[in-house]
Chain A
């Protein structure tokens, strides 16, 4: 959340002095849906940012923060947003750009202008509670990873030699699933994943509130990303050792049975993770497991 903001890409004498020069004082119009804090009304604010070569939505937000004035020259607080890596690998910067859920750091202005030269519209994700402006609270997404026990059940971190041998084919199968950046695009697009936003009661302790929120999360849809992680770990020789626990989790309340197979998730995943394949696999595994459980009773 700390971030550097470059007010303008003026001539740069740096070692890598390849910064883009302003081509002309063409202005990019930006419309941001702002919200000062949770529970407050949201409102639109317009900004105008001078065009530069090779801009992305992050650099637009940087210019807005540095300038801190709205289009009509009114001083305004800088728009808050999340980012870190600026190369689409940390998963921080998810937002709705021109209505589409995506990573802001790879949203190149030139491309956006091709689609809509009039304006760029930025909104926070709608399935997570807004913290401020474009910053949302995505703790639920990480909670889902706990629900499916997305980890290797190793004995401990002391030396025990190498892991199991793995064929190149299995590696190539697992690797894409392992590149999930926890951005939440798949959740934003999913009709089954609906927003859970709770407010702490006056007489409620922090711990009690935490507990209530957790149980609300645990009743809600677990999400495509977590189903896919469950399949990733269940396909690994060590991960498999607790495969049943994961199947239990993805068939419990809020589990895979809620998935309507609308496939919106796979269409928006910035890492092109084969989510529908994971979901299909999970569905089959869950069925087999349910039958097995029936007979074990």
Chain B
């Protein structure tokens, strides 16, 4: 074998997009996945995918505005060049998906229909019924199957990625994986390896994610030395259907199509919701955020729903927390046409028709903004240099990360329908650089000394065997997982408090200790799901720790990370002078906070197993940070004061708002 090969771990949208493009670039790909790639978690996405389009353009929209919304929605925590590149690619990506046969909903004239999602004022989201993720995944799966028939791609389904193989210089030369049917180990020599293994929702026990979203692969890369960024930023989706085995998502598109969130003004009003008169209903999102209404960004919607139930005590039910999400004012035919699939889910699992009766929903863990740290190469236009081997590369040379398991695109909070985009974008975009990297190494991985691979394989074999030998343990892995999930959900979701985070960190260490005493109920070597799960559980602890430690150390509120003690409330004064004074103070504090905390949290796995955390600057060269004021009392005044300061700073040529002056030229809306 004299040609370089690439190993792709994970066949969700990101992994499939990369595989398709790599095959097209002529490189052979081994594609490894825990499940048949067509069954990857991406099938669950319901709502849609964002891009600027001909219609929104005529309403004043542009790639630049999509970029701005994404950065503003993410509270400025993401490096800006990759986001800019992504939003510029977005229209082309949706066009490509259209060519791949995705059955996007259509207008009467035959164009793609669009809907509005949270955090924007434009109808940017293309959708295919209520199963957009499924449709996009299938389109890419089909192309990859086509490449498989051509012989360019070889799939390894029901295989578990265990460890990247690094040479003495620290370069990644492939990986050790395990066949989950025969339990056999195998090493893959690869000139570049791409991790595309999705989110880590299972660290929280139950979430909206699928059962393979354990974060195990990212954790294994992290434990091998890859840095992990912004781990503490976990998105809690405002609207999920509480369930015993899973918290099933109720897509944001339910609100996008006009769904209204409310609670009865009387706590636990026992009446049928349909009998509760308008005056007795509190549409709290519409009331508190007149501009965005029910479509405020996710972190805000989540906190408001959480708050109305806990602080205000207005939960619909007494014994469990939930609010109404009401679609009953919308005609049945419209609902069936636009939301059919997701309403069926509600009906299927709750046995109630949401077209007739308001749904009961509550927030649930949904998305990991954080993930493996990846690099990029900036170009002169402020976007990315295509073809650079640095794009999407982790700090381990020749090891890449794309999709939900990288940390790159969504900052402190992800906007709806932006993730399918970032997954496909990162997959397509990184391919040319990956090829360059694969061709760039001195020696082909396949010609690398066999000792290198044999040593890594032996390590994994002995880990496996020692687990199987643990027949007399005292702990049950499933029980430990339940405890871990409950703990993480309690302390590291909507509201974070330092005492709790500190205590939880100690508890996670105890759980990890107890894990070492797990007993396996299956010691066989054939389709042993017990041992596969126990391994994945063991790899959840390092992720849990970096989430907790990041949350503890980050002393501010930003996007999904919220510490009540550090919140910056709106203006309280009633007189004008007082208000103005408070607005000035607010802006001072905002500036200080930006200086101190507008930083990526970067965790490295320490020798003792604890995460070592450093904070690194964020590239805000295109768009200077500005206060995120959705719905804040006195927000207009603060905005005014802020703008004044910016103007002054620009006049002085420098000043506190770093970057404003020199980026003014780039920052204009692109034509």
Contact = CB atoms under 8 A, between A and B. Distances in A.
B216 interface: yes
A6 B483 CA distance: 10
B158 A91 contact: no
B594 interface: no
B103 A175 contact: yes
B328 to A, nearest CB: 21
Contacts of B40: 84, 90
Interface string A1-39: 111111111001111111110000000000000001100
A190 to B, nearest CB: 21
A86 interface: yes
Name the prevailing secondary structure of the A interface residues.
loop
Contacts of A75: 521
A92 B99 contact: no
Nearest to A8: B482
A278 B25 CA distance: 36
Given A2-B34, A66-B476, A87-B246, A14 B41 contact: no
A271 B660 CA distance: 53
A202 B243 CA distance: 49
A4 B107 contact: no
A188 interface: no
Nearest to B524: A77
A58 B41 CA distance: 17
B99 A238 contact: yes
A3 B533 contact: yes
Interface in B260-311: 306
Contact of B211 (A84, A106, A145): A84
Given A162-B99, A167-B106, A236-B101, A132 B320 contact: no
B211 A83 contact: yes
B368 interface: no
A33 B593 CA distance: 61
Contact of B348 (A52, A106, A182): A106
Nearest to A11: B486
Contacts of A90: 35, 39-41, 43-44, 210
Nearest to A40: B526
Given A2-B211, A151-B143, A163-B95, A238 B101 contact: yes
A54 B145 CA distance: 38
Contacts of B131: 89, 179
Interface stretch (B162-170, B359-367, B510-518): B359-367
B245 A86 contact: yes
Given A159-B95, A161-B95, A85 B104 contact: no
A16 B206 contact: yes
Most buried by B among A65, A85, A108: A85
Given A78-B522, A131-B181, A9 B244 contact: yes
Interface stretch (B410-418, B487-495, B606-614, B642-650): B487-495
B101 A62 contact: no
A190 B145 CA distance: 25
B325 to A, nearest CB: 14
Interface stretch (B71-79, B134-142, B442-450, B623-631): B134-142
B634 to A, nearest CB: 29
A83 B44 CA distance: 13
Interface residues on B, range: 35 or more
Contact of B490 (A13, A145, A156, A159): A13
Given A84-B35, A150-B142, A163 B98 contact: yes
A5 B24 CA distance: 40
A13 B489 contact: yes
A264 B139 CA distance: 28
Interface in B364-381: 364-365
A152 B101 contact: yes
A205 interface: no
Most buried by B among A3, A6, A160, A167: A3
B210 A151 contact: no
A288 B124 CA distance: 43
Given A66-B478, A77-B522, A2 B489 contact: no
A16 B364 contact: yes
Interface string B224-256: 000000000000100010111111100000000
B134 A179 contact: yes
A53 interface: yes
A149 B320 CA distance: 50
Interface in A52-78: 52-56, 58-59, 62, 65-66, 68, 75-78
B128 interface: yes
A160 B99 contact: yes
B569 interface: no
B205 interface: yes
Most buried by B among A88, A170, A178: A178
Contacts of B460: none
Contact of A4 (B362, B428, B481): B481
Given A131-B181, A233-B101, A92 B39 contact: yes
A189 interface: no
B145 A151 contact: yes
A215 interface: no
Contacts of B57: none
A108 B522 CA distance: 28
B526 A37 contact: yes
Contacts of A135: 527
Interface in A99-122: 106, 108
A19 B244 contact: yes
B586 to A, nearest CB: 29
Nearest to A179: B131
Most buried by A among B206, B216, B345, B479: B206
A3 B211 contact: yes
B362 A18 contact: yes
Contacts of B529: 1-3, 65, 78, 80
A80 B527 contact: yes
B505 to A, nearest CB: 18
A132 B530 CA distance: 13
A54 B527 contact: no
A15 B35 contact: no
Interface string B326-358: 000000000000000100010011010000000
B244 A165 contact: no
A56 B245 contact: yes
Contacts of A207: none
A84 B41 contact: yes
Interface in A128-184: 131-132, 135, 138, 142, 145-146, 149-152, 154, 156-157, 159-163, 165-168, 170-171, 174-175, 178-179, 181-182
22 contacts: A2-B160, A3-B212, A4-B481, A6-B205, A17-B242, A18-B243, A54-B244, A65-B530, A78-B522, A85-B44, A89-B131, A90-B35, A90-B39, A145-B142, A146-B149, A149-B146, A151-B145, A162-B98, A163-B98, A178-B128, A178-B135, A182-B38
Given A131-B527, A233-B101, 5 more contacts: A1-B532, A78-B529, A86-B246, A179-B341, A239-B101
Closest CB pairs A-B (n = 5):
A18-B242, A68-B521, A165-B110, A151-B142, A163-B98
Interface of B: 20-21, 24, 34-36, 38-41, 43-44, 92, 95-96, 98-101, 103-112, 128-129, 131, 134-135, 138-139, 142-143, 145-146, 148-149, 158, 160, 180-181, 202, 204-206, 210-212, 214, 216, 236, 240, 242-248, 306, 320-322, 341, 345, 348-349, 351, 362-365, 428, 476, 478-479, 481-482, 485-486, 489-490, 493-494, 521-522, 524, 526-527, 529-530, 532-533, 536
